[in-house]
Structure 1
Amino acid sequence: MKSIGLRIKEARLAKNMKQDELAARIGAKSPSAVSTWEIGKAKPDCVTLLRICEVLDVSADQLLGIKTEKEMPSLTEWAMLNQYRFIDEYGKKAVNAVIIAEYDRTLASQPKKPRIRKMRIDYYDFPASAGTGNFLETESPEEIWVKETEEAEDADYVIPISGDSMEPSFHDGDKVFVEKMDSIEKGDIGIFVVNGDVFIKELGDHCLISHNKAYKPISLHSSDSIYCCGRVLGVVED
């Protein structure tokens, strides 16, 4: 039987989320807390478990391995099982043949779900709006799996977003696709390093614009150290 730690790990990986990212989003006291749960050294308390469920978009029953009422056999199914156990081998063969034929017929009538294709892409675990330097030159990316979309194919890397300065277009914790380029057009959204600070902003006239009206534009001067790290193409879908 799977442990709760293994179920947490599977749900986390399904979200393309690192251990320290999950720890931060649930407000864990230590970044290593998730690791201790996943290897079975400890278990999260009830409040923390609910936070994990919310962040990973799973139910507590799923993490605890509890079968839901829908998964349990109904009284009619239990009765049929008892009847099946009573009949002889000849009868069981006949029942099996009918069940297989009806299962195949029902399966064939179901609409086919489109297959979701995925691809790997570089991921810089270095949030825009924080940090120093040109991270593309100093940081080593890891690889994550994303849905194979037009944006994913055009992008060169993915970066997480920190803060609310670009709401409602982008939210804290979002991951965005970025196409590498040294400059972008006015009105485009890009990743910029200005005097050592990394930002996701819309390019304006000699300034960087936040979509959240609570933030003033960042003025750009000839004396500033400015890097354009690429154009933002869109948000990575879970």
Structure 2
Amino acid sequence: LYQLSQALGVSMHYLLEERIPVEAWMTARTEEEDVRCLSQRESELLDGFESLTEHGQQLLEAVLDLLLYQSPKSFFDGPTRKLLCFQAVARGRRGSLGEGFYFRPIQALLDPVTREADFTVLLTSRALSPAFGPGTILGVGLGQPDHNQLGLFLVNREVYIRKLYRGRNKNKLVAVNLDYKDIPLGERDELKCLGTILGAVRNYRWL
């Protein structure tokens, strides 16, 4: 059975347990001696968690706790949402979120921005002035921004809030504030879009 499971790339539980669905990506036996079925996405997330440092695992566990957190009674007159807000640790030269970040939950009144946002960021630079100044909380939605729309970008592991310009011979990130230089993007640069800027979060409170 072991050799057969190795050849098929599955666990022996998969071959023996009738209750494991065929579409299960992998299985794991819990401390209660029960079998837990994992999808491919859950398996990939588990692999990513195991590859993190101990500090990174603690950070991810804290984020999970915040996502599951039930906030106290709201003082807003109307429906609200709880969202994570990422904030810069240091205001250096390494992107809009500085040289690192931490997170804190907010409770915001539902509006077109907070209804669609997946998370928020606290703006610390003047790169988006006069549209958005430092101290503004911006709603971010997962997905690629449209042409000439602000997005949250990861460039060589540094985070920027810019507009992505794609030309025939040159790609670059452009700031709203003309005092900020464009960030040229070469073939060797690692570019990843983390989300689309939906707008400013107006009515909120820190949790």
Q: TM-score, normalised by structure 2?
A: 0.52
Superposition deviation, residue 143 in structure 1? 2.3
1:28-177 correspondence runs (5 A): 115-126=77-88, 129-131=96-98, 141-177=103-139
Determine if contact 2:86/2:104 at 8 Å carries over to the other structure.
yes
Superposition deviation, residue 203 in structure 1? 1.5
Q: Which residue type is aligned with residue 147 of structure 1?
A: L
Cα distance in 2, alignment partners of residues 173 and 115 from structure 1: 24
Superposition deviation, residue 236 in structure 1? 0.8
Report the counterpart of residue 186 of structure 1 in structure 2: 147
Matched, 1:221 2:186: yes
Cα distance in 2, alignment partners of residues 132 and 185 from structure 1: 28
**Which has a greater percent of helix?**
1
Cα distance in 1, alignment partners of residues 85 and 179 from structure 2: 29
Determine if contact 1:131/1:196 at 8 Å carries over to the other structure.
no
Determine if contact 2:87/2:97 at 8 Å carries over to the other structure.
no
Q: Which residue type is aligned with residue 176 of structure 2?
A: H
Determine if contact 1:132/1:196 at 8 Å carries over to the other structure.
no
Q: Secondary structure at the match of 1:204?
A: strand
Q: Which residue type is aligned with residue 216 of structure 1?
A: K
Report the counterpart of residue 156 of structure 2 in structure 1: 195
Q: Secondary structure at the match of 1:216?
A: coil
Count of residues paired in the alignment: 119
Superposition deviation, residue 126 in structure 1? 3.5
Q: Deviations over 1:76-111 (max 9, x none)?
A: xxxxxxxxxxxxxxxxxxxxxxxxxxxxxxxxxxxx
Aligned residues with identical type, % of pairs: 25
Determine if contact 2:148/2:164 at 8 Å carries over to the other structure.
yes
Q: TM-score, normalised by structure 1?
A: 0.45
Cα distance in 1, alignment partners of residues 141 and 97 from structure 2: 20
Question: Unaligned regions of 5+ residues in structure 1, if any?
Answer: 1-113
CA RMSD of aligned residues (A): 2.3
Cα distance in 1, alignment partners of residues 178 and 117 from structure 2: 28
* 1:163–1:131 distance in 2 versus 1, CA, 3 Å: closer
Question: Unaligned regions of 5+ residues in structure 2, if any?
Answer: 1-75, 90-94
